[in-house]
């Protein structure tokens, strides 16, 4: 019995780093985004807003998604945490993205990316104690988190880093 307990404790200590693949979130159209579907692909998670100076990054996010579709999925997370720049409903946001930027990558339902009501996925992304890699702060719209094919966090990029910048694309080549 003691040997079994020790084996279980050792397995817990040496367990693989936490993975984003454990999460399921509501999609913008009411369905479910199951991150385990993206095993084998890199994932770029981006908090988005429709009325922000960085909103034109939707165009580059779509271009990145199209160019690297075989090995990358982009997932947008609309959030109204900064300056009230995402005030619309999920339906409004979806329509805005499709009409103005032809967004075809998955979009989650509107969430909070910081504060006391932070979404569990963003709590995981921003806390090394949960993701096993790094602490990060979402300081504005269009922060980006890149995860590897196993769902392990690789890097965090601030808003000013555009989706097609070499800082991101180097991980996709």
Residue 153: which CATH number? 3.40.30.10
60 burial (CB, 10 Å; 0-12 / 13-18 / 19+) is middle
As given in the structure block, the two tokens for residue 38 are 């993206």
The answer to whether residue 110 sits within a structural domain is yes
Coil, strand or helix: which one is 120?
A: helix
The answer to whether residue 128 sits within a structural domain is yes
Q: What is the mean pLDDT of the chain?
A: 92
- What was the pLDDT predicted at 3? 59
Number of domains making up the chain? 1
pLDDT at 6 over 90: no
pLDDT at 14 over 50: no
Q: What is the pLDDT of residues 105-158, one digit of tens each?
A: 999 999 999 999 999 999 999 999 999 999 999 999 999 999 999 999 999 999
Q: Where are the alpha helices (DSSP H) in the chain?
A: 2-13, 57-67, 90-101, 120-126, 128-131, 166-169
The model carries a pTM of 0.90
The answer to whether residue 24 sits within a structural domain is no
Show the domain range for 111: 39-169
- What was the pLDDT predicted at 16? 45
Provide the annotated active-site residues.
52
């Amino acid at each position: 019995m003691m040997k079994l307990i020790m084996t279980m404790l050792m397995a817990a200590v040496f367990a693989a780093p936490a993975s984003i693949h454990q999460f399921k979130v509501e999609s913008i159209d009411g369905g479910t985004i199951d991150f385990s579907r993206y095993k084998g692909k890199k994932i770029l998670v981006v908090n988005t807003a429709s009325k922000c100076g960085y909103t034109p990054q939707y165009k580059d996010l779509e271009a990145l998604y199209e160019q690297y579709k075989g090995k990358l999925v982009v997932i947008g997370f609309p959030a109204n945490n900064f300056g009230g720049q995402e005030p619309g409903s999920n339906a409004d946001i979806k329509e805005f993205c499709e009409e103005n930027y032809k967004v075809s990558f998955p979009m989650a339902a509107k969430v909070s990316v910081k504060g006391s009501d932070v979404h569990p996925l963003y709590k995981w992304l921003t806390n090394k104690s949960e993701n096993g890699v790094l602490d990060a702060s979402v300081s504005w719209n269009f922060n980006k988190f890149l995860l590897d094919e196993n769902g392990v966090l690789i890097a965090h990029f601030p808003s000013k880093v555009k989706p097609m910048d070499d800082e991101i694309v180097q991980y996709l080549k």
